[in-house]
Structure 1
């Protein structure tokens, strides 16, 4: 290998977690201040979308935000990925943009009682999982409606978590989204996802988003399990 060539990183958070086996921190390593910072930045982004303050206030805010950016950037981790292992064995990726609690770009997608899944090497088990989310104007597309891209992100994340909870994690190989009607922002959304089976390394899941009980979007996904070395 050329001395200037860096080795390829693991293809997924699951693979990285395996390399870090025995060294992953637990949830107590995530401070309340870290979570609060991410939430306040989410609020800031929405405020920027809505704001109608004058140019002088915007300029002053931009200066202060630049100072905070420099302050926060003064110390960086070796890698952007931040993983923790819950006591039940469940892996959580804190900085991914689908639902990462430490990533301000991630929507506030909250899962209800997601289990860790079967033991490694055991057969996957069919599961159904539930989540909730309220998008904001920062996720907007058409007037008062969510952008189709963020709807796809929610569904990709939902179905990926369902596959992992079933014991069949993998990388997204295909996501087929059907937009049934507009998905609103500033309204509570209910999400349901289920793992439905596998064929070799391929794993399959389906799910939908509901607003006021009505399906606004649904998807099917195919995930590919990584090859074991």
Structure 2
């Protein structure tokens, strides 16, 4: 039941709990409440370090194809796919399978749907551009989804999440806006700044994918 922050500020009246801090305590404003304790971690103990080597996997993205899933369409994306621009229109459904997907810009319009084909299996999106994420995750067990899904963003800027959310976000150069998430979110978050909405409860779920041998 928490959000994890690193040298950031948390805004608006939201509930946070159990905040292991990488360095300093967050700046809490506008009646946000914090439960649990804070502690200082050495850099080596910080659990969300992402290798910069992954960033090099996005070299040449300007030559990749674009993918747009139009209204009324359903598209399944998995494996080691690479796209310059990924766009899911309102009324479209993206089915996301296990594997690592590399993209430049991501636009998931309001009214689009996202289904995890293998919830809990390791599913990673590595991005290096703009991220607008307004899709509704249709899986019923969001805690299981959160165990296996991670979004890594290398580009500086802003990430806007709406609808619902399940998974880890690692975006250390970004401002992460969670203000429009519906009621509950599941996962762990690293960002430059994190903005929370009124009445939002975040349930801490660490990235711990289910091994293939444990899948039924």
Q: Decide which structure has greater strand share.
A: 2
Bigger radius of gyration = 1
| More RCO (CA 8 Å, sep 6+) | 2
Common topology (TM > 0.5): no
TM-score (norm 1): 0.28
Structure that is richer in helix per residue: 1
